[in-house]
Each structure stands twice: as structure tokens, then as C-alpha cells.
Structure 1
């Protein structure tokens, strides 16, 4: 079922479609320019934060003995995605200090050579007490947020356990902070972003729901904005904020349980918000294309909400363009291609939507279970399932599978890109995949 007319919708469909079509073209040009200008995969889901490596020529076929430049085992367990800059790849991981069931966890940052996979440095940032550590979900880890790279620094975030800044060169710790303690549910997941002098992330635990900006030079709190949402069954979420530009104004889009907020990234002042009832455990990162913000609303049954971001205050009844409520992902983030939106549900149904109306263009069952976000590279879609199989699909008005590849290892992390190579993290190792 697709709900296409929210409460308060009054603009004619024809006029809206013409306006949004123009905005789609402008947004697409802006995104393409952004991708072309960035050459490193420095944050979760790449330069735009939306899983786009449009100008990369990525391999479409690989296996354990095919098109693998190198494989490097990574100590411990972490589901953060690989990021890369200046010939170096960065990951976080959690290494148990003993074989005890409640062992302490050494929360570490690892730097690898992009050329050889060799571990250059491996630094402990925090030590988590295993006796008091909150339980995590079976599909989570103690090191799931993805690092952010900028200005020779690597910013790492371990949720309630703290945040830190290290030098990319040698792993020297510049600062750490554990000031922002809260009670997580099922562990941590949302990654940080950088805006000018601020390192920004969402906190969505059972006892605190807020968006936080730290001074990236010192780690001190620059601003904190509460979500102020009530009457939802569960308050925890794991989404990563997205920075967008709306008519020359920067907006920080942060989705949490029950609500998505747009904030001024410099001050934390709220610009607008849209509610979505009782949705919780929101994981997918929002995307922005064609003048619309697309948000997946989480458990127990996800919907995809498209919102016009030019409003003020509560825009739930005035700026929601459409809602889709079938086969919406709980975990994988979607991707925009031209004027289409592609999303894969956790149980392996790939959907192509008209990004202007929410109408379904086609659906296809891929099979498998999915947690990793979609990747667009070289004009192709890459879908990595939890068993390590990747399906490559050509975007278009009809479903067209290009190739399948299988590493046969558990994989929950989203892919990274380095030039024309894919960086794929499994439960035990990192792979560099090339043609």
C-alpha cells in the first residue's frame, strides 16, 4: 500500500510535480558536483553521506580467489564501515581482553595501508568494563559507528563510551571525552559528521534523546538540542545525521524515535520537525534528492516519508509529500539515482520508487537478509547481504541483475570505496576488491 496524500496536503499534484522535477535536476547536479569534488571516502556512506561513488569504475565480479587485491584480518569485532584518505584506511573495533563471557572490551582504532592492507597502527582509545557494559544486539558490536576523517585527524565515536580525536599519521590521541554518558539499548550505531568547527552526532538512548555538537579541536560540548518527543513506546535509535543545503542554508537532518529534526548545524537551533508516530529504533541514514528529504521511520513497521525541507516549526501536516509503507528497510539506507529512489528491505526485496510521487516502478525479491546500506558506483547498484553475497543491479525502469559475488562470510558493514576499488568488511577481515 502506498499513501500519497498526508493530512494538510493541498497543492495540486501537477504543479507540485513540475516544481519537484526542477528541484530534482538541480539537486542531482549539486550532488554530482559534490561527488566529483571529493576523492576520498571520509565518512559513513562516502562524500555525500548517501552511498554515492558515481564516477568510480568498480568491479562487478569477485570471490575468495578472484579480484581480491588483499585480505587483512582485523582483530576483535566491529561493524563500522571503512573510511579512507591519503592511502590509509581507518576502522574501529572492539577486542575482548579475555575469554570470559563478560570480558572487558578494548575499544580501538585501526589504520591500514590502502595499498597492501598492512596494519600501520592499532590504538586503544577506551577500555569498557565488561561487568557493567550494557548488553548489545546480536547484530551489533561495541564498535559500530564509522569514523570521520578531516584535516589529518580521525574522529571516532563509541556511543555512550565516548568520543575521541586521533592523528591519522600515527594514532596519537589529541583528545577524548566521556562526558556524555547515557543508557544505550542494544548498543550504539550512529556515526558522527563534521560541520566547520563542530563534530556532531545523535544520542538516542533510553534516558537521553538529543543531538550533540562538540568543538572538534577540544572535544568540549558546543551545543546540545533535545528531541523533546513524547508518547512513543521506545526512545532508542541509531541513525546518522545528514548535512544538506536548502536554498543556501545548511541543515542538519537527524532522525530519531518518533521524529526527524532539521537543525542549524552552527547553533543547534531547530528549523523544522516532522513526526511519524511511534516509530523507534531508526537506523537508516536519511537521504536528500530532488528537493526532498527521505526518512525511514524504524520499527515495528517502517515507512518511508518524503519531506519538503523548506518549512518552519512542525511540518508534519504541511510538508510531507508522500508516505510509502511497503517493503521499507529497517536497517539498510536507501540511495537516489536520478529521479528514482532505491531501497532494499531487510528480507531482501529491492524496490524502485518514483522519487517525486512515491509510486512503485518495480519490486524484485533479491533474497537473503540485509543490514548494509546500498551503494551506487559507476552507475550500478551494489547490494551486500548479511551472508556476504553482493548483487549488482543496473538502475532503470525495469529490474536488471548484472552480477552476483559471494565471499561466504558474515557481513553487516556498508561498503567503502577507494578510487576504483571496493572496501568490504566482513566479521573477521577487510577486503580490497579490484578488477
Structure 2
């Protein structure tokens, strides 16, 4: 099975080598293999620029050629801003009243990351607003998914980001109390292409998911892989039809096992973080119907991530324990067996992790909520030469590596180091 990123009608050869067009990068893995970014960063040594942001937002920046695009609250409204590589603002747009935040220290109404194919930019907010703009920032269409499909049933702040699948824009509405859906919209008009219910049996709040789906070619079919409601599922990207589902992630039917960290994939195997950071499982993707009995490859207890999505690369998963006594533990797992190849421990603190880790070249980056950005070199035995960088601002968004530049978004600033 070969993993591919679908950017609508865009040909793979046309994708700019230094883009980061969605939340987790060009193949949604959290990896920038050709990047050459600094391990040590500071205002004095290698800060290219720092731009003050007008309001709260926890979304990760995206990049298309000469634009860095990030969502945030602007004058009490949902907003998006684009900067050039010198930190100069190029354009901004606003989309109506922003929703209030429920997580006062680490949440916002602008948690989902933007998405682009180089022609249009797509943004999604806790208010339910989904909008398309030209790459120059002009609004093309706008709709509200909470008004048209289902109210916001999440206990906390919306987290899922839009993706491209089947040549369209796809959004997952996965929450308690109200109907859950996978939704596909025409990129140019916003017209609904298909709507597929995604309601599986699960206890209250375990139905809530803050995750983002990914797209893979599985058994020759472009497939949307979604984690939430105690199930990993595969849906046909063209039609929305469910192809397979995989359960048994909540055997004792815990009522509060909502999921935040998304699944990730390498070599046809998905890693599924579950149990509020207590477990991870390896699932062979594909098949048909209920694959729970035959496609579970392994389950590991004690290695897990509640908020941080693992990095997937070359048959390995890199998992950052983000809470509890083992927070700051980084484990490299073999995708086929679940065996730990190595474990390293980042310096301990009372602060926890929300930011998903990044691999750039041979460097592993992890952002802690107190504004500490760690960077270590990946070796066959673990992380070496670990550096602590202090940004002195709340850090929730994931770092981004593009070429020689490292982008870090904190609550109040967008930083660019080189």
C-alpha cells in the first residue's frame, strides 16, 4: 500500500518542494525530511522575524511558496492572516463572530489549521464556519456546518482540521449528543458532494473526537482514515461509503475516553493513540467490514499520547507521552511489531504537551505548553544533543519546518527562525 497526498486536480510534480500545505505537512506525517532547521533558536542568534498576532489561536501555520498562513481571532471574529517570508503581513480576512473558548489556558475558537492547494485557502472554526478564499485572501464561499448539519456537541474546543480527499474538501464532525458525519464539499463552490453518517456505539464523551483524518491509497482505493468514537474507519474518498471499521479500543466502555491525538500511518499500518494517553495500537489498514478481529497487529500499554499526534516515518512511529508521570518520554516503535526500538526522556517539568512533534531531517522537535521547544538528534539508540529553547509564551500549535526555516506559533506570536 502506498501513501499519497491528494490535492484535488493538482499534480504531484507541481507541488512546491518547500510547502507545508496542511496541519501535518505534505504527506500528513509530521515529517520534513529535506529540511535543515536549527536545533538552537533564540531572539539574539537566529530569529528572522517575529509577528505579533491580534488574537488567540492554537492552529498550526501552513506554507505555500512565499506565504505563511495562520488563523487567529481578529477583533472578536474568526480570522486568517498571511505573512511573507520577511514577516510582513500580506492580507487578512474575517468571517464573523468567534466562538468562546472552553479551555482557558490551551484552547481557542481557532484551533483547526488552514488548508491550501495553492489556488484556494480553506479555513474552519469552532463557530462552525467553513470558508474558502483565493490564495490572495479574497472570500469565495462560506457556510456554517453547525447550522446546516449538527450543533457543536463537543465538551471542549473543536480541533479537527479540514483535508483534501477525492478532489474535494472533507471535514469530520465527530461529537456527542448530535449526529456525526464525514462531509465532502466542492472546492470551488462549497456545494455538498456527499454526506456520510459516522455514528458508532460508544459511551458518552467517548463519542467526542478532536482528531483530523488522513488520506491513503489502500487496496487501490483512495481512502479517508478517521479515528474517533472508539473506532478507526476507512471511507471511500469519492463516495463517502464505509469500506471497513476497526473497534475494541474501549473494552471497559469508559465514558470519558474522548480522543484528541490523531492516528498516523506508515507502510499500510496505522497507529491509534487511545485511553487518554495510556495505550497505542497498530492496525493493518484495509479489508472490508469489521476488521477488529483480524487486523489488530499489536497493542502497547504505558506508551501513549493524549493530545500529541505521533510522527510516522519509514516503518516507525515516534510517540511523545504528553501527560502524567511519563510526560516527556519519546518512544520509537516498530510499526509491524509494536516493539520499542528506543526510549528517550526529555527534561521533566510540571508543564504538559499539547503540540504534536515534528521530525525535520534528523532532528526531533517537541513543544511544551510552558513555551519550551525541545530539539534532539535522532540516532539508532535514541535522542542525543537535546537542546531546550525558551520562548516564554504558551505553546500549543505544532512547529513547522520548511527548507532552512522553522516556524513556531505561540499564543501571542508567530516566530520564524533560520
TM-score (norm 2): 0.88
How far apart are 1:355 and its partner, in Å? 1.9
1:376 is matched with which residue?
Answer: 359
User: What does residue 154 of structure 1 align with?
Assistant: 121
Mapping for residues 136-147 of structure 1, pairs under 5 Å: 136=103, 138-147=105-114
Is 1:57 paired with 2:27? no
State the secondary structure of the residue aligned to 1:174.
strand
Q: How far apart are 1:322 and its partner, in Å?
A: 0.6
Q: Does the 8 Å CA contact 1:392/1:401 hold for their aligned counterparts?
A: no
Is 2:348 the partner of 1:365?
no
Question: Whole-Å Cα distance in 2 between the matches of residues 316 and 110 of structure 1?
Answer: 43
Q: Please list the CA deviations of residues 69-98 of structure 1 after superposition, one character each: whole Å capped at 9, or x if unmatched.
A: 000001100001000112011111124x5x
**Structure 2: tracts of 5 or more residues without a match:** 5-11
Structure 1 residue 139 displacement after superposition: 1.8
Partner of 1:283: 260
User: Does structure 2 conserve the Cα–Cα contact (< 8 Å) formed by 1:112 and 1:121?
Assistant: yes
Shift of the alpha carbon at 1:418? 2.6
The CA deviation string for residues 244-285 of structure 1, in whole angstroms up to 9 with x for no partner, is 112432111111121111101111001111111247321222
Correspondence for 1:417? 401
Match of 1:9 in 2: none
Q: What residue number does 2:232 align with?
A: 260
Match for residue 11 of structure 1? none
Q: How does 1:239-254 map to 2 (within 5 A)?
A: 239-254=211-226
Unaligned ranges ≥5, structure 1: 1-22, 98-104
Q: TM-score, normalised by structure 1?
A: 0.85
The equivalent of 1:197 in structure 2 is 167
* Equivalent residue number for residue 304 of structure 1: 280
Q: Which among 157, 169, 183 is matched to residue 187 of structure 1? A: 157
- Alpha-carbon deviation of 1:38? 4.3
Whether the aligned pair in 1 keeps the contact of 2:32 and 2:402 (CA below 8 Å) is no
Aligned-residue offset at 1:306: 1.0
Q: C-alpha displacement at 1:138, in angstroms?
A: 3.7
Partner residue in 1 for 2:9: none
Per the TM alignment, residue 229 of structure 1 is displaced from its structure 2 partner at its CA by 1.1
**Rounded Cα–Cα distance in structure 2 between residues aligned with 1:271 and 1:109:** 35
Query: Aligned-pair RMSD on alpha carbons?
Result: 2.2
Structure 2 residue 303 is matched with structure 1 residue 327 = yes
1:363-420 CA-partner distances (Å, limit 9, x unpaired): 2321242111111111221111112222222323312322412222210000122322
For the residue of structure 2 that corresponds to 1:318, the secondary structure is: helix
Deviation at 1:160, TM superposition (A): 4.6
Cα deviation, 1:210-259, whole Å, max 9, x if unaligned, reads 21111222212221222221132312111001001124321111111211
1:195 CA drift (Å): 2.1
- What is the CA–CA distance in structure 2 between the aligned matches of 1:287 and 1:337, rounded to whole Å? 9
Deviating above 4 A after TM superposition, structure 1's stretches of 4 or more consecutive aligned residues are 33-38
Contact 2:22–2:163 (CA under 8 A) maintained in structure 1: yes
Query: Does the aligned pair in 2 maintain the 1:307–1:322 contact within 8 Å?
Result: yes
Q: CA deviation at 1:134?
A: 7.1
User: 1:220 & 1:315 partners in 2: Cα distance?
Assistant: 33
Distance in 2, matches of 1:257 and 1:80, equals 23
Counterpart Cα distance in 1 of 2:364 and 2:376: 5
Which residue is 1:164 aligned to?
A: 131
- Number of residue pairs matched by the alignment: 392
Q: In the alignment, is the contact (CA less than 8 A) between 1:308 and 1:321 conserved in 2?
A: yes
The equivalent residue for 2:77 is 106
Q: Report deviation, 1:328.
A: 0.2
Tell me the SS of whatever aligns to 2:102: coil
1:36 CA displacement = 9.2
- Which structure 2 residues correspond to residues 53-92 of structure 1 after superposition, within 5 A? 53-92=32-71
In structure 1, the residue corresponding to 2:35 is in which secondary structure?
coil
1:20 match: none
Find the partner of 1:270 among 219, 242, 256: 242
